[in-house]
Amino acid sequence: MSTGRVFDIQRFSVHDGPGIRTTVFLKGCPMRCRWCQNPEGLDRAVSLWHFENLCGRSGTCVEVCPTMALTLGPDRLTINHAACTLCGKCVEVCPRNALAFDGRDVTVDEVVEEVLRDSVFHGVSGGGVTFSGGEALAQPQFLLKVASVLRERDVTTTLESALHAPWAVIEPLLDVISLFVVDVKVADSAAHAVATGVPNELILANVRRLAERLAGTGRMLVRVPLVPGYTATEKNLRAIAELVHEIDPALPVELMNFNPLAGAKYRRMGMPNEFADVTMAFSPAEVSAFKAFFSEQGVAVR
Ligand code: SF4
Ligand code: SF4
């Protein structure tokens, strides 16, 4: 497949792997983590969004819409998504950039070209491209193709994934992904289903298989998001530490602190946010205490 769907291609990122990264966010995810940091990446379908805080209430968009999908009421602009054909006319004419699509279709060549624009920065910093999401594995052929072309062009490739996909999708990537950053969120499968919408048997089987294939290469990192009430509990973190140690004590683990800033996206998109009242990340002392659970098991934790 030569076309894929992304919701962002972010340049100069420093949080998605080593060095300076170009991060390609692929749209669509089979999971529904309650704390998702990128809610605009959940659905594969593209939607039109209105940002109330930017809107100047000119009504220009309403006038150009060929399907009358927009209504300017006394206090807000309403989008009839069923009537919207995604023609883009309203986005073009809005003088305040208050309307936007939450995704776009791109070809392999377009992504490669965009990533290669940053190759100087990748070279000096030890960086490269990172595929994230959504869930990048939900567009497997496109991912494989883009990663293959970029590896041929000597760009190092990182995949951030929860590995909720058949092994047949993951295996071909072993030849073209330099570093696998694998999310392990909740150890208990029933609790995992409550937190993410899916049980974790498939995920853990893939984690074991990948760790076995990459043992001793340094090409795999386990990442654990710290989410109040779901992942960041003593019981869950101890269980994940035991699991990682049993799989491979040399597997490094990175704890990713909760990011309350994602709440702004939920507000902009008018989506319910279970964590609206959580305005603080975990303190350095709390994160150190969480790290201790991993160190006690002899797991290298960052
Ligand atoms: S054109 Fe833009 S600023 Fe004007 S009403 Fe429409 S969304 Fe708001
Ligand atoms: S994208 Fe086109 S159809 Fe949809 S609301 Fe805008 S102008 Fe109307």
What is residue 1's predicted lDDT score, i.e. its pLDDT? 59
* Residue 3 near ligand 2, beta carbon < 6 Å: no
> Which domains are seen in the chain, by residue range?
3-44+103-296 (3.20.20.70), 48-101 (3.30.70.20)
Summarised one tens digit per residue, pLDDT across range 277-291 is 888 899 999 999 999
Task: Pick the atom of ligand 1 nearest to 57's CA.
Answer: 5
Ligand 2 centroid distance, CA of 95 (Å): 15
DSSP H or E stretch at residue 238: helix 234-247
CA distance linking residue 126 with residue 179, whole number of Å: 13
* Residue 2 near ligand 2, beta carbon < 6 Å: no
For residue 61, give the ligand nearest its CA.
1
* Residue 89 near ligand 2, beta carbon < 6 Å: yes
For residue 95, give the ligand nearest its CA.
1
The amino acid present at 234, given as its one-letter code, is E
Tell me the CA distances in angstroms from 21 to 5, 18, 118, 191, 250, one per residue in order.
19, 7, 8, 33, 25
Q: Are 38 and 7 in contact (CB under 8 A)?
A: yes
pTM (two decimals): 0.92
Summarised one tens digit per residue, pLDDT across range 219-246 is 999 999 999 999 999 999 999 999 999 9
- What's the average model confidence in pLDDT over 166-175? 98
For residue 70, give the ligand nearest its CA.
2
DSSP H or E stretch at residue 123: helix 119-125
pLDDT of 141 strictly over 70: yes
What letter would DSSP give residue 130? Answer: E
pLDDT of 145 strictly over 90: yes
What is residue 221's predicted lDDT score, i.e. its pLDDT? 97
Across the chain, mean pLDDT equals 94
Q: Which two tokens stand for residue 161?
A: 């994934």
CA distance linking residue 19 with residue 155, whole number of Å: 12
Ramachandran region, residue 174 (left: φ > 0; alpha: ψ -120 to 50; beta: rest):
alpha
The amino acid present at 108, given as its one-letter code, is V
- Please tell me whether residue 118 adopts helix, strand or coil conformation: coil
First to last CA, the chain: 37
CA distance linking residue 160 with residue 141, whole number of Å: 16
